[in-house]
Amino acid sequence: MDKICKSFPLEIGGTQQVLFDITFDVMPGEFVSIMGPSGSGKSTCMNIIGALDSATCGTYKLYGKDISTMTPDELAVVRNDYIGFVFQNFNLLPKRNILDNVMLPLMYMGKPMAERISRAREMLKLVGLSGFETYLPTQLSGGMKQRVAIARALAGDPKLILADEPTGALDSKMGNEILQFFKKLNKDLGITIVMITHEFDIAQYSDRLIHIYDGRITYDGKIPKHESDLMPKHRGRK
């Protein structure tokens, strides 16, 4: 990302700018947290990273492709080819079994059925859910649902996992298990992970932290010892 800004139109006229000159790079194999309070702009930043929205100004390149100039159809192809999404509320299809849920991105990619089934079973085994293929999401615990969501995100062999508050719907024990699993994916498989969070404790599972406040980056580096180190000396400065 290079000097990314984002503005939204207001019903009363004019616009409201929510991101200001956001500039950072994520290297292949990194585990990065983007942290900030509600209203800080981190979700807007996430949507741009995930090719779900476009910037008002600035340049964003994903593996050499300039996302800022793409059409909606081109963005959809990029999302399928490069990004696996893990959401706070799992976003599983409640009336489809676990195997079908994991196969979903492979269907959109046009993979043949035999390949879909084989890959989905492989990913369920990776997240420790072999034997649960015929279960419905309603039959699983929250932690198991998030593991299914991770398996689905991995099914298309993405270069980047984008995790939006992945432990927000889980208790602390299940949340810790999911975060440990992310670390394992990152270390053992070299998968690049960008995780969105508003909690400093959660961000500490990553190797690098980018803090956004009032639409600006206030910190970018290794995890500091104290959360207070994330803010500039003059808190209200823009």
Q: Let me know: does 99 contact 121? Beta carbons within 8 Å.
A: yes
Spatial neighbors of 100 by CB under 8 A, at least 6 apart, are: 93
Q: Let me know: does 158 contact 86? Beta carbons within 8 Å.
A: no
**Nearest partner of 67 among 81, 53, 83, judged by Cα:** 53
Spatial neighbors of 171 by CB under 8 A, at least 6 apart, are: 142
Instruction: Give the H/E segment covering residue 43.
Output: helix 42-49
pLDDT at 90 over 50: yes
For 124-179, the pLDDT digits (tens) are: 999 999 999 999 999 999 999 999 999 999 999 999 999 999 998 899 999 999 99
Q: Is the four-CA dihedral 6, 62, 82, 90 of positive or negative sign?
A: negative
Whole-number mean pLDDT of the chain? 92
pLDDT class of 232 with cuts at 50, 70, 90 = confident
Tokens of 194: 């960008």
Q: Give the per-residue pLDDT at 236.
A: 47
pLDDT class of 233 with cuts at 50, 70, 90 = low
**Nearest partner of 193 among 204, 206, 203, judged by Cα:** 206
Spatial neighbors of 57 by CB under 8 A, at least 6 apart, are: 3, 4, 5
pLDDT class of 234 with cuts at 50, 70, 90 = low
- Reduced to 3 states (helix: H, G, I; strand: E, B; else coil), residue 54 is coil
Q: Let me know: does 193 contact 31? Beta carbons within 8 Å.
A: yes
| Mean pLDDT within 27-34 | 97
- Reduced to 3 states (helix: H, G, I; strand: E, B; else coil), residue 9 is strand
pLDDT at 229 over 60: yes
φ and ψ of 213, to 5 deg? -140, 125
pLDDT at 120 over 90: yes
The percentage of residues in the chain with a pLDDT greater than 70, rounded to a whole number, is 97
pLDDT class of 238 with cuts at 50, 70, 90 = very low
Least confident of 57-66, 183-192, 229-238: 229-238
Q: Give the per-residue pLDDT at 35.
A: 96
The pTM of this model reads 0.92
